[in-house]
């Protein structure tokens, strides 16, 4: 029963647009009433009616070691007593920057901000200021936050709500935003040729998580790197999802590809609102106050966000075996679901890498937004409610990756596979 959630949703709609503060939470894609959460611990969420759910969202990625991870909670308690904000620099910001630089490849300087959207927006502005060019190339179905230029043919929530032309985004912004299909190198080369000397940056999710989990095809990222080198284009990795989730060095390390700028969020805040962008000194020194590309934020480097993220990242750096454990659990879950789907003869594709995974009801490979959108999404929506009714909380959209956390036990995974197997899948 989620009676209290229903009451809360009715109440929320009287004061909050759509009753939620981020659109996918409204369950509009999958139908039904959104579940209002009250608390969480480890691998479990507890709703307003005290129903328990095995969690496969992990707050959309950051709770990589589980909810209410005690070292993080204790660090927040301690630092909150000093003040929740200073509006002035702290030593903790330096320690956080040094820790990230020690873990991430190709990182000379890093600037803290307050969200992944802000990080991506700032990285693109920096690329434009550095190159003196205006146009960017992004990929259909990639989601880089809700800044204007990123909402042109974006994935995730925009795809979930079937909004491909967003009111409020000007024609000028749209004209400077060039889109290519994900995993299509030739399309990128053609855009670069048609806009010779005008492209400031190529921004990409190196492993897509906003149209399901979609891996880069062999040679795709390497090809983009070559194009950027030849045309003096800034190559930006949006690692808001993948950073410190796929490995201690993120997707750059996992896939052995160097980016010029990288954006972060989610894991680096351990659930607190935080983002960051960084990269080569040659580019980063154009940010104010070193250079003329302006970026600022009152709460950037907030001490509570910094200590939460610092505590989590230090644990991940000191215990890299966590990533092997997460990958093993993700494989176990994927293999269990696959065995059942094979036995039923249901068309499917399961994509996964590290602790990211997604299930698509399709008889074709899921390699880009077009192929993801041609999967049987109504069937996924039915799966979502079946899992929810049986105590398993999946992302409420077929266009979202699932995120595992290391608090999940194999008993939790077995329960999840059991519930999955009890679904009709047809």
Q: What per-residue confidence (pLDDT) applies to 351?
A: 98
Beta-bridge partners for 208: 214
* 20-50 pLDDT tens trace: 988 888 888 898 999 999 999 999 999 999 9
* Residues with catalytic roles: 143, 238, 266
Q: pLDDT class for 163, splitting at 50, 70, 90?
A: very low
CB 302 within 8 A of CB 266: no
% of the chain surpassing 90 pLDDT: 89
Instruction: Read off the pLDDT of each residue in 176-192 and give the average, rounded to a whole number.
Output: 97
| CA contacts within 13 A on the Cβ side of 226 | 9
Tokens representing 405?
């956390």
Q: What is the DSSP string of 249-286?
A: THHHHHHT---SEEEEEGGGGTTSS-EEEEE-HHHHTT
pTM score: 0.94
Q: pLDDT class for 149, splitting at 50, 70, 90?
A: confident
Cα distance between residue 235 and residue 233, in whole Å: 6
Instruction: Read off the pLDDT of each residue in 49-58 and give the average, rounded to a whole number.
Output: 96
Residue 155 predicted with pLDDT over 60: no
Residue 158 predicted with pLDDT over 60: no
Question: Which of 29, 22, 142, 51 is CA-nearest to residue 383?
Answer: 29
| CA contacts within 13 A on the Cβ side of 321 | 1
| CA contacts within 13 A on the Cβ side of 404 | 30
Supply φ then ψ for residue 246, to 5 degrees: -80, -15
In which order are the strands placed within the sheet that holds 402-403? 349-353, 356-360, 402-403
Q: What per-residue confidence (pLDDT) applies to 417?
A: 98
Which is more confident, 162 or 375?
A: 375
Contacts of 38 by beta carbon, 8 Å cutoff, 6+ apart: 46, 47, 48, 50
* 67-118 pLDDT tens trace: 999 999 999 999 999 999 999 999 999 999 999 999 999 999 999 999 999 9
CB 424 within 8 A of CB 345: no
Residue 253 predicted with pLDDT over 90: yes
Q: What are the extents of the domains in the chain?
A: 70-318
Cα distance between residue 410 and residue 333, in whole Å: 9
Q: What per-residue confidence (pLDDT) applies to 165?
A: 60
CA dihedral angle for residue 364, residue 217, residue 341, residue 376, rounded to 10 degrees: -40
Query: What is 70-318's CATH number?
Result: 3.40.640.10
């Amino acid at each position: 029963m989620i009676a209290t959630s229903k009451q809360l949703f009715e109440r929320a709609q009287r004061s909050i647009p759509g009753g939620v503060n981020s659109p996918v939470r409204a369950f509009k894609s999958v139908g039904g009433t959104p579940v209002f959460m009250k608390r969480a611990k480890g691998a479990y969420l507890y709703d307003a009616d005290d129903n328990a759910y095995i969690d496969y969202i992990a707050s959309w990625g950051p709770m990589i070691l589980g909810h209410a991870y005690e070292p993080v909670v204790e660090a927040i308690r301690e630092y909150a007593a000093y003040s929740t904000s200073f509006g002035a620099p702290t030593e903790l910001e330096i320690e956080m920057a040094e820790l990230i630089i020690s873990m991430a490849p190709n990182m000379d300087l890093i600037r803290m901000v307050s969200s992944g959207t802000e990080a991506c927006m700032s990285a693109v502005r920096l690329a434009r200021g550095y190159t003196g060019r205006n146009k960017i190339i992004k990929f259909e179905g990639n989601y880089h936050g809700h800044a204007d230029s990123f909402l042109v043919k974006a994935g995730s929530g925009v795809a979930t709500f079937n909004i491909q032309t967003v009111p409020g985004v000007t024609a000028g912004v749209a004209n400077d935003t060039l889109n290519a299909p994900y995993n299509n190198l030739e399309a990128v080369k053609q855009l670069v040729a048609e806009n010779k000397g005008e492209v400031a940056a190529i921004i990409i999710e190196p492993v897509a998580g906003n149209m399901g989990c979609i891996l880069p095809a062999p040679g795709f990222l390497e090809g983009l790197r070559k194009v950027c080198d030849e045309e003096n284009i800034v190559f930006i990795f949006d690692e808001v999802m993948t950073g410190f989730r796929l490995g201690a060095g993120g997707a750059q390390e996992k896939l052995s590809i160097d980016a010029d700028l990288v954006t972060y969020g989610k894991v680096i805040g351990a659930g607190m609102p935080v983002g960051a962008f960084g990269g080569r000194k040659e580019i980063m020194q154009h940010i104010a106050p070193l250079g003329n590309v302006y970026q600022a934020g009152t709460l950037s480097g907030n001490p509570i966000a910094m200590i939460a993220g610092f505590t989590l990242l230090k644990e991940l750096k000191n215990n890299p075996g966590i990533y092997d454990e997460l990958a093993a659990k993700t494989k176990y879950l994927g293999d269990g679901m696959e065995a059942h789907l094979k036995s039923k003869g249901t068309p499917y594709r399961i994509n996964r890498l590290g602790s990211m995974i997604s299930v698509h009801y399709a008889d074709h490979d899921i390699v880009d937004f077009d192929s993801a959108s041609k999967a049987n999404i109504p069937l996924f929506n039915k799966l979502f409610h079946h899992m929810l009714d049986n105590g398993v909380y999946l992302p409420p959209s077929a266009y979202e990756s699932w995120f595992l956390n290391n608090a999940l036990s194999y008993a939790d995974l077995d329960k999840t596979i059991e519930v999955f197997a009890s679904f009709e899948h047809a």
